[in-house]
Chain A
Amino acid sequence: MTPSFGELLPYIEKREFPNEWLMLMHHEKVSIPTIFISISSATPENIITEIKAEINRYAETQKTTFNIIETGSFGILSFEPVIGIQLPGKARIYYAEIYSNEIYSLLEAVFSQWVQHHHLLGQLNFQNTEAWEGVPLLKEQKWFCNESRHITEACGFCEPPSLLSALSWNRWTTFLYALRNIKQDDIISIIRESELKGRSGSGFLTGLKWQQLTKTNSEQSFLICNAYESNPSSFHGRLLMESDPHLVLESIAISAYALRSTKAYLVIPYRFSLAIKQIQNALKQAYDNGLLGFDIQKSGYSLDIHIFIAPGSYIIGEETAIINAIEGKKAMPNEKPPYPIQQGLFGKPTVINNVETLTQVTYIVRYGTAWFKSIGNEQGYGTKLFSVSGINILRGVFELPLGVPLKHIYDLTKNENANVKAIHLGGPIGNIFDQSFLENIIINFSKPSFVYDGSILFIDHSNCIVDYIKNEINFIQNESCGKCLPCREGSKQLYHILEMLTKRPENEQTKETLVRIKEVMMLTELSNTISNTSLCGLGKKFPNLIHDLLLYFKNEVEEHLYERHCEAGVCKNLRTYTIQVEKCTGCHICFNKCPENAIIGVIQHPHFIIQDKCTSCGICYEMCKFSAITFK
């Protein structure tokens, strides 16, 4: 039977569990058919409910019983919902993208010992289980990144709502061991020695930051774990919180213990409803079992972890803004110095670290500096979570060592239709590169291929880069906090100029045509002014996008500016519409709908567009039922 938490305590302190119990908790040996469903934000509740209903329907018709277990996600969002099926005595077999309409036939196939190869991910074989024939091993799949999978090792296997399952994956054991056997200053010197760099983007040495805190000699200090992931193309912090919440809490506990903080804050965006639910549940379990709270396991150390649900706004990720938000003010950055390390939350020294950095701390404390330094290179040690997305790209979180070539990530994730026009690293404050960079750059803590927050977006040829950057600048314009003028007004002006670039002047004869060119010439000066005069990192860094646009995609900008042509056809206003004479039936609909009266023709005879009058609104293109209207 499953032992209780109290019975497990002696094993936790030895950091070794009885093998039988581990097998039970990892479901290596099952007595009845067991189905594993991955729960993540990519699999909404109503879809999971439908899948479960179908499983129950199968169980009723076949008169069998199932054990349904909810696990976290492997991190590959393109595969969700992932279903694992394990029959007694057989290896566990995983399938991807199984929705409610497919689960019934899948169960039928598996129960008749027949392997369906459609959507097959692989099998997980244990001791004493019989492997499926002709099914690849899950851990040998390229996307699984088995060799470098460390901090996400439990994601997809561990059951987030269960403390015992987390314990079997060594969650909390490092903290309790450190509490008894490692001095606080020793942890800080271990981290200093490991040269761990902050994973949120700046790459500041975590150990150095922590040492600075100890020098302040303040009685009270705070730790803030920044899980506010506001870059829309980054989702690895969310994966950690959803699939392995106990690791996140343990990491906060170890770091707070090292810093002698008795109060720690975890900042989660309000949109991450599943992450909030899992973390709150895990926090309650930790308090109930004496892993947090007053006098933890009679060690004399007390810690409270507060969850702050951040009410949105991109800028909360900035360290002084996060302090203002927790203090109940508007999340606007302050001038530095004083740095938060000297005078932070409620005027006390405060350490702010990214959630991923803190989880790395746990692994360094557990396995030691030598292990950590064996991964990566001297620019940055250890592994990094990469959030990869793009069209025809496997979308998900991949844990790879720092110093990995970008080409490797691309090869890992592309499918046969993929192509690359541009690579966007680091979201709105990152950089955009053209495809020539794909072959020769490695992701590292050095320019040009700075790792930033680890988000990588591959943009393909069906997209217009000017339009893409216009959307990014629009995002900044909406999210700019408005405290300093260069960012607030500058982003607005940049957006205005880019919008002009993606449009045709209304009247070519007026001054507007010249203004359009003049404004594009001002782009460099404007973006330099913004980055030189802005207060915080956001305003300093987002004009990089404009620099990259003018540096790597000059041809495309010129094409928009002079030829009024968009290669990808994304900028609707720059399209030139023509009617194909052989396809046009003369139905007269486009003639009636055209707001500019730019179409001429008689019923039942081919129609024509007068290009001088056409404003490229695209109404005729949408209305034509015979696809006779094309654009270039």
Chain B
Amino acid sequence: MNTIKQILSTFPGYNKGLVIPALQAIQAEYGSINLTVLYEVAEHFNTSSEQIYSILSFYPQFRFKPKGKYHIEICNSPLCKMNHHQEIISYLKNLIGIEPGEISSDALYSLDVGMCTGICKKHIRINNDVYLISSVDEIKSILDKYSKETKL
């Protein structure tokens, strides 16, 4: 894993337009952005750490909380909201006890509502894999498959 310094060295500090790509690269490497990197990034781009924090907190891509090992995403488009959005969220809340934006206590699962993917059938997305489901009860067996993997 590259250190923050190594990542930042590929972005010339005089160009403030590269702040966002630099932060995106850090997040891609570490999964989330730890607040301790603020000072390092600010120093590199010769700006204040408040400035960097305001950018981080403004854009939805950046997350301070780490993702779970299995990151579950649910589509947020108006069509899905009409159809089955709420049903899946309440099922997951019962099953693993987390709401969108939260991470489970064993750091295994995290849940988010995301942008439309274009699959307008009932589905859930775990990391990069998509599972089409005909009823919400199938979610349990899909998650079981993942949790077995962790135990092994």
Q: List residues of A whose CB falls within 8 A of some B CB.
A: 40-47, 77-78, 80, 99, 230, 232-233, 235, 238, 269-271, 308-309, 311-313, 325-331, 389-391, 395, 424, 457, 459, 462-463, 468, 471-472, 481
Binds A, one of B2-10, B52-60, B102-110, B133-141: B52-60
* Chain B residues, CB < 8 A from A472: 78
> Is the beta-carbon distance between A463 and B128 smaller than 8 angstroms?
no
Q: How far is the CB of A568 from the nearest CB of chain B, in Å?
A: 10
How long is the Cα–Cα vector from A283 to B42 in the complex, in angstroms?
Answer: 31
Contact of B21 among A44, A232, A309, A313 (CB under 8 A): A309
Contact of B120 among A43, A389, A462 (CB under 8 A): A389
**A271-B114, A391-B83 are known contacts. Are A309 and B24 too (CB-CB below 8 A)?**
yes
> Is the beta-carbon distance between A42 and B79 smaller than 8 angstroms?
no
Contact of B118 among A42, A47, A230, A471 (CB under 8 A): A42
| Cβ-based interface call for B119 (8 A) | yes
The interface bits of chain B over 1-45 (1 if a CB of A lies within 8 angstroms of the residue's CB, else 0) are 000000000000000111111011000000000000000000000
* Chain A residues, CB < 8 A from B115: 230, 232, 269, 271
Q: Is the interface of A mostly helix, strand, loop or mixed?
A: loop
Interface centre among B82, B114, B129 (most CB of A within 10 A): B82
Listed from nearest, the 6 A-B pairs whose CB atoms lie closest are A311-B61, A312-B60, A42-B118, A311-B59, A44-B130, A328-B19
Give A481's nearest chain B residue, CB to CB: B58
How long is the Cα–Cα vector from A40 to B120 in the complex, in angstroms?
Answer: 13
> Is the beta-carbon distance between B61 and A471 smaller than 8 angstroms?
no
**A42-B117, A235-B118 are known contacts. Are A390 and B79 too (CB-CB below 8 A)?**
yes
Give A46's nearest chain B residue, CB to CB: B129
**A391-B83, A459-B82 are known contacts. Are A328 and B129 too (CB-CB below 8 A)?**
no
Interface centre among B59, B118, B130 (most CB of A within 10 A): B118
> Is the beta-carbon distance between A311 and B129 smaller than 8 angstroms?
no
> Is the beta-carbon distance between B118 and A40 smaller than 8 angstroms?
yes
* Chain A residues, CB < 8 A from B54: 330
> Is the beta-carbon distance between B55 and A395 smaller than 8 angstroms?
no
> Is the beta-carbon distance between A329 and B21 smaller than 8 angstroms?
no
**A41-B117, A328-B55 are known contacts. Are A471 and B79 too (CB-CB below 8 A)?**
no
Give B131's nearest chain A residue, CB to CB: A46
| Cβ-based interface call for B70 (8 A) | no
Interface centre among B60, B129, B132 (most CB of A within 10 A): B60
Contact of B82 among A40, A80, A327, A391 (CB under 8 A): A391
* Chain B residues, CB < 8 A from A47: 130, 132
> Is the beta-carbon distance between B20 and A311 smaller than 8 angstroms?
yes
How long is the Cα–Cα vector from A454 to B62 in the complex, in angstroms?
Answer: 30
* Chain B residues, CB < 8 A from A269: 115
